[in-house]
Structure 1
Amino acid sequence: MAVDYKELKKGGFMRQKQKDCFSMRLKSVGGHFTAAQLATVQKVAEKYGKSYVHLTSRQGIEIPYIRLADIDAVKKVLHEGGVEVGVCGPRVRTITACQGAATCPSGLIDTVKLANEFDKRYGGKELPHKFKFGFTGCHNNCLKAEENDFGVKGGVLPRWEAASCIYCGVCEAVCPEKIIRVDKAAQQVTSEREKCVYCGKCIKSCPTDAWQGDRGFVISFGGLYGNRITVGRHFLPIVFDEAKLYEIVDVTLKFFEENAKPSERFANCLDRVGWDKFQQNVEAVL
């Protein structure tokens, strides 16, 4: 009976150099695995692999040396232990996320919640080529949002409240874009708001809470890290409404489906079809 290697790869089993051996990719959302799931992974690796696993660059787990004859048995053990096999090929891939606002003091958005919601809505969706989402909680950018086809970074739009300000100048000193000016003598603070990157360092550093702000999502498009490297672009203002975020995703994926050639990555599609055309489509939903 012929082996459908393409279908196996789609289901997370990638051929190795060794005959009839596969590196099995497990499903991960934001790099989150329970202790019980890890115990199942250990069981499979010891019984059906070579007693080790590989941690991928996208927060996933692969178990090498799974034999073709054992695939059905392996799937059964994984299912019983609450572990799913991942996906490969032309579809939405593993969704990555840092720990975000739930646990990290720097986090501005709940990246784990968002990653799980995105997985429910878009995980495994068939597309012209692979498509990657990545979430990072703040501008420390631990998850490197701009490496993804669609990156989401936590941000905050700062708001200065004069009544609480002591004009110490800390906000001016920490601003990475150097757009804040503090005049202690005149008791005045000015900022070039249109140049703000929404990092929130002014808010975090202010000793009197004179800087406040509204948290939201900073989105990048068209990141690509492979044979060709390109950094995702920013052209939208910060987005505060989560429902609006999903509208932007829907427009993005529709554009990719309708305009990309088979096996063409999103960034390459945008370069060919035109970033201006895509930007117009996205801005239409704002």
Structure 2
Amino acid sequence: MAVDYKALKDGGFMRQVQKNRFSLRLKVVGGNLNAEQLLTISEISKKYGDGYVHLTSRQGVEIPFIRLEDVEAVKAELESGGVNTSVCGPRVRTVTACQGSKICPSGCIDTYALAAEISDRYFGRELPHKFKFGITGCMNNCLKAEENDLGVKGGYTVEWIPDACTLCGVCTKACREGAITQTDNEILLDKGKCNNCGRCAKSCPFHAWKSEPGYLLSFGGTFGNLIARGEQVLPIIHDKETLFRVADAALVFFDKYAKPSERFRVAIDRVGWDTFKSEIKAAYRG
């Protein structure tokens, strides 16, 4: 019986240079695995692999040296241990994320929760080429959101609260963009310079800044054979309904306009950024 190597690859089993050996890519959403899952992966790698795993550049885990005849047993034992295989090929890949506001003091959004929601909504969806989501919690951009087809960066919209302010000057020193200046009796915010980092609100000892978390989206990033920085074409988004409406529109655009095996960025460049922006902004407005 002929081996369906395409189906194996679609399900995360990638052929190695060794005959009938596969490196199995696992689904690791937002870079998170619990202790039980790690034990399962360890046991599988010892029982069916070569006793080790490979950590990928996108927070993934791969178990190399899986034998062809063990594929079904490996899938079953992984599933029983709460571990899922990932995908390869032209579809939405595993969502990556930094630790976000649940762990990191700099985080502006809950990246773990958002990664899980995006994964539930889009993971494995077939498209003209692979499509990557990446989520970073703040302007430190540890996850490099702009390297992804659709990057999400956490930020804050801020507003000064005069009655709570003592004019201590901490926020002016915390602002790296020079967006905040201080007079003898007030704080001035230059919204044109503000990059939504939220350092003013996080640093204020008197809670004199009102802050609202939100999402800054970038589109068309890629880092590999083609290197391109994702472009931000929308203002900060403050609700998930709008975020997902825009993400839906981006995938619809990709599916509608891209040629087979054409990356999202290449499709945007070919069709034109004006057309892309028009469709994305229409989705943003609802």
TM range (shorter): over 0.9
Q: Distance in 2 between matches of 1:131 and 1:195?
A: 32
Q: Which residue number in structure 1 is paired with residue 254 of structure 2?
A: 256
Q: CA offset at residue 92 of structure 1?
A: 0.2
Instruction: State the aligned residue count.
Output: 284
Instruction: Give the stretch that moved more between structures: 157-166 or 168-177.
Output: 168-177
Query: Aligned partners of 2:20, 2:55: CA distance in 1, in Å?
Result: 22
Q: Which residue of 1 aligns with 2:16?
A: 16
2:233 match = 235
Query: In the alignment, which residue of structure 2 is the partner of 1:114?
Result: 114
Q: Distance in 2 between matches of 1:283 and 1:196?
A: 22
Are 1:62 and 2:39 counterparts?
A: no
What is the deviation of 1:172?
2.4
1:147 paired to 2:147? yes
Equivalent residue for 1:168? Answer: 168
Alignment partner, residue 195 of structure 1: 193
CA-to-partner distance for each residue in 1:106-164, whole Å, 9 max, x for gaps? 22111111111111110100000000011111112121111111111111001011222
**Distance apart, 1:170 and its partner CA:** 2.7
Bigger Cα displacement from structure 2, 47-56 vs 189-198: 189-198
Q: Counterpart of 1:47?
A: 47
1:240-273 Cα shifts (integer Å, max 9, x gaps): 1111111001100000000111111111111111
Residue of structure 2 equivalent to 1:7 = 7
2:205 maps to 1:213: no
SS at match of 1:63: strand
1:166 counterpart SS class: coil
* Misfit runs of 4+, over 3 Å: none
Does the 8 Å CA contact 2:30/2:97 hold for their aligned counterparts?
A: yes
Matches of 2:168 and 2:229 in 1, distance apart? Answer: 36
**C-alpha separation between the residues in 2 aligned to 1:235 and 1:176?**
23
- The CA distance in 1 between the partners of 2:204 and 2:250, in whole Å, is 37
Partner of 2:31, secondary structure, is coil
1:279 counterpart = 2:277: yes
Q: Is the 8 A contact 2:216 2:237 kept in 1?
A: yes
Superimposed CA distance per residue, residues 42-88 of structure 1 (whole angstroms, 9 cap, x where no aligned partner): 11100111100001111111000011111112112112212111100
| Deviation of the 1:20 alpha carbon | 0.9
- Does residue 101 in structure 1 map to residue 82 in structure 2? no
Partner-residue secondary structure (3-state), 2:59? coil
Shift of 1:97: 1.0
Is the contact made by 2:178 and 2:193 (CA closer than 8 Å) also made in structure 1? no
Q: How far apart are the structure 2 equivalents of 1:194 and 1:248?
A: 24
Q: How far apart, in 1, do the equivalents of 2:209 and 2:255 lie?
A: 42
3-state SS of paired residue (2:192): helix
Name the structure 2 match of 1:267.
Answer: 265
Match of 1:80 in 2: 80
**Quick check: 170-179 or 267-276, which moved more?**
170-179
Please give the root-mean-square deviation of Cα atoms over the aligned residues, in Å: 1.2
Structure 2: state its 5+ residue gaps: none
Q: Which amino acid aligns with 2:139?
A: H
Given that residues 49 and 65 in structure 2 are in contact (C-alpha distance below 8 angstroms), is that contact kept between their aligned partners in structure 1? yes
Where does residue 126 of structure 2 map in the other structure?
126
Whole-Å separation in 2 of the counterparts to 1:138 and 1:203 = 13
Preserved contact between residue 160 and residue 209 of structure 2 (Cα < 8 Å): yes
SS at match of 2:135: strand
